Amino acid sequence: MAYSPNDQWIASGGFDGRATLWDAKSGHRLIVFAGHNGAINAVSFSPDSQRIVTGSDDHTARVWQTESGKETATLKGHNGRIYAVAFSPDGQWIVTGSDDQTAKVWRADSGVEVLTLPTQPANASRSDKGPPTMDVNLQRLVRYFAAAGQTPGRTNSSASFNPPVKGADLSKMPATPDAARSHSK
């Protein structure tokens, strides 16, 4: 679940592959976002509350217009269930975390993958009762987004990875989004 930064909406994900937008004051269902072929594990609002990103068992994340319910991008590239999604503070980037032991950075407007960040399991002996615990060096991501002219801003309730992503080696991560784009060509 996620609460919109404008305090108007709540978004939830379901086992049926649908996300729902709720009116935060009345509790009325406003829009159902349908398109995933697996359970939705993560939802997040853009900083301006105009978009929602959802992450699913179907290995995709999808970006939706909040008020119309229209899907604007499908983020394909993970080889595992997506358990974490977040927008950057300016809404231009999306980060996804998956049980394929990667985190990915995407352009929010086009859905183009910009960067893959390898992660490592926190412990090799996990039970099958839930996703592996992983951790991404979020300070490095903050510096990366800051290089794009972004400044820290208000974050919503799901702006951090849940579960957290641990043990990533981001030492080879390009210093800026422009360097990431040239690196991925």
Where do the structural domains in the chain lie, given as residue ranges?
A: 2-183
pTM greater than 0.85: no
pLDDT confidence of residue 5: 95
pLDDT confidence of residue 44: 94
pLDDT for 69-80, tens place per residue?
A: 999 999 999 999
pLDDT confidence of residue 147: 52
What CATH fold (topology level) applies to the domain 2-183? Methylamine Dehydrogenase; Chain H (2.130.10)
**Ordered DSSP codes for the chain:** -EE-TTSSEEEEE-TTSEEEEEETTT--EEEEEE--SS-EEEEEE-TTSSEEEEEETTSEEEEEETTT--EEEEEE--SS-EEEEEE-TTSSEEEEEETTSEEEEEETTT--EEEEEE---S-S---TTSPPP-B--HHHHHHHHHHTT-------TTSS-SSPPBB---TTS-SSHHHHHHHT-
Residues of the chain scoring pLDDT < 70: 120-185
